């Protein structure tokens, strides 16, 4: 029996890649996983997940992480259906097309910031509210190593979203520690 058996987790960006793998690893430890993503492929991926983990009580939620009410509803729905929220994995992210900063449209910058920063902010905000009530907190915010190094054709992604997300991670840890929300650990990036 795993120490994580019957914990409840939300994973954003769950419809493929790293997010899908995170769901698999968590479920393998006995964690009930709520899979969240905007992708129309989410339902198919969730069906495959349930075939592999039929005892898992998690479910799939299609949402837009840039919409505050949808993220709040994700957390509320998880708590209503499963009783609590133990782990929040803010994994969803997008990357821009290769463009020099001199050619990068503001719409692309806004989209990258909305998903990669605001999505993490909103997920952390509503998960932390719930976890504060429970006096437990495990919020995992994934990020890219691109934020540690600039790339001339990915300025909107590297400099804006990843650096902003990294600063947010550090601020959130300080706030959690000062307010005594349990389980916050600063990033070593």
The residue from 46, 153, 157, 182 that is catalytic is 153
Which pLDDT belongs to residue 178?
43
Pairwise CA distance, residues 43 & 50, whole Å = 10
Cα separation, 61 vs 91, in Å, equals 15
Structure tokens at 181: 């929300």
At residue 156, the pLDDT reads 64
pLDDT of res. 166: 62
Structural domains in the chain plus CATH codes:
8-178 (3.40.50.720)
Active site residue 153: yes
Token duo for residue 176: 């959690």
Q: What is the pLDDT of residue 150?
A: 65
Mean pLDDT lowest for which of 19-33, 80-94, 105-119?
A: 105-119
Average pLDDT, stretch 79-106? Answer: 88
Residue 69 vs residue 156, higher pLDDT = 69
More confident residue, 53 or 4: 53
Given a cut of 70, whether residue 100 has pLDDT beyond it is yes
Q: What per-residue confidence (pLDDT) applies to 23?
A: 97
Residue 77 has pLDDT above 90, yes or no: yes
Structure tokens at 59: 């479910």
Give the residue-averaged pLDDT of 152-172. Answer: 62
DSSP-assigned states of every residue in the chain:
--TTTT-EEEEESTTSHHHHHHHHHHHHTT-EEEEEES-TTHHHHHHHHHHH-TT----EEE--TT-HHHHHHHHHHHHHHHS---EEEE-------SB-GGG--HHHHHHHHIIIIIHHHHHHHHHHHHHHHHT---EEE---GGGGS--TTBHIIIIIIIHHHHHHHHHHHHHHHHTT-TT------
Q: What is the pTM of this model?
A: 0.84
What is the C-alpha to C-alpha distance for residues 172 and 186, in angstroms, rounded to an integer?
8
Q: What is the pLDDT of residue 86?
A: 95
Task: Scan for tokens 């070593």, then name that residue.
Answer: 188
Task: Give the range among 72-81, 99-108, 126-135, 140-149 with minimum mean pLDDT.
Answer: 140-149
187 pLDDT above the threshold of 50: no
Q: Report the C-alpha gap between 29 and 23 in whole angstroms.
A: 10
- How far apart (Å, rounded) are the C-alpha atoms in residues 51 and 158? 37
Mean pLDDT of the chain: 83
186, 139 contact by CB (below 8 A): no
């Amino acid at each position: 029996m795993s120490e994580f058996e019957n914990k409840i987790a939300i994973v954003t960006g769950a419809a493929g890649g790293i997010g899908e793998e995170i769901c698999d690893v968590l479920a393998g430890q006995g964690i009930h996983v709520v899979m969240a993503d905007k992708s129309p492929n989410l339902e198919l991926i969730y069906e495959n997940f349930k075939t592999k983990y039929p005892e898992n009580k998690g479910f799939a939620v299609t949402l837009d992480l840039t919409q505050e009410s949808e993220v709040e509803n994700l957390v509320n729905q998880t708590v209503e259906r499963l009783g609590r929220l133990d782990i929040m994995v803010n994994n969803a992210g997008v990357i821009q097309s290769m463009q020099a900063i001199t050619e990068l449209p503001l719409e692309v910058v806004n989209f990258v910031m909305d998903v990669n920063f605001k999505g993490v902010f909103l997920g952390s905000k509503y998960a932390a509210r719930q976890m504060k009530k429970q006096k437990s907190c495990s919020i995992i915010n994934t990020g890219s190593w691109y934020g540690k190094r600039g790339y001339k054709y990915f300025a909107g992604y590297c400099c804006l979203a990843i650096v902003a997300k990294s600063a947010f991670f550090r601020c959130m840890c300080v706030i959690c520690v000062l307010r005594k929300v349990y389980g916050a650990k600063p990033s070593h990036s």
